[in-house]
Amino acid sequence: MSYLIEHFNAAVQTELARWPVGLRVRYLALLMRMSDYGPNLGMPHTRSMGDGLFEVRAKAAEGIGRAFYCVLIGRRIVVLHGFIKKTDKTPPREMKIARDRMKEVK
């Protein structure tokens, strides 16, 4: 049984569509794998951020992209927020956006 993958809103989908081509291809490949095998692909592809929040870890020649998601009842994965990573640590502002959106969908 596969998982349904959806985006929090159209703005999230648009932002992810603006990623550089290599990152976008890697991100979409990971989403397809998650749809087939479930949300926990393990490192280095996905990682738990705690309290039900997870991240997709896309890496390509253009840089590093992160997309936060949560899993809902009924085999639904909701992509909450995505950004291009510019530092080693995940910026608290990006994490807060994802956590706030997760509260809305749960």
Fold of domain 4-105: YaeB-like fold (3.30.2310)
- pLDDT of the residue at 79: 98
- The single residue listed with the structure tokens 């706030």 is 100
* CB neighbour list of residue 35: distance below 8 Å, 6 or more residues apart: 2, 3, 4, 5, 77
Q: Model's pTM, two decimal places?
A: 0.93
The C-alpha atoms of residue 1 and residue 24 are separated, in whole angstroms, by 25
Tokens 């009924």 appear where?
A: 74
Domain map of the chain by residue range?
4-105
**98 alpha carbon, distance to own chain's centre:** 10
The pLDDT value recorded for residue 88 is 87
How would you write the pLDDT of the chain (106 residues) with one tens digit per residue? 799 999 999 999 999 999 999 999 999 999 999 999 999 999 999 999 999 999 999 999 999 999 999 999 989 999 999 999 988 899 999 999 999 999 999 8
Query: CA-to-CA distance for 74 and 50, rounded, in angstroms?
Result: 21
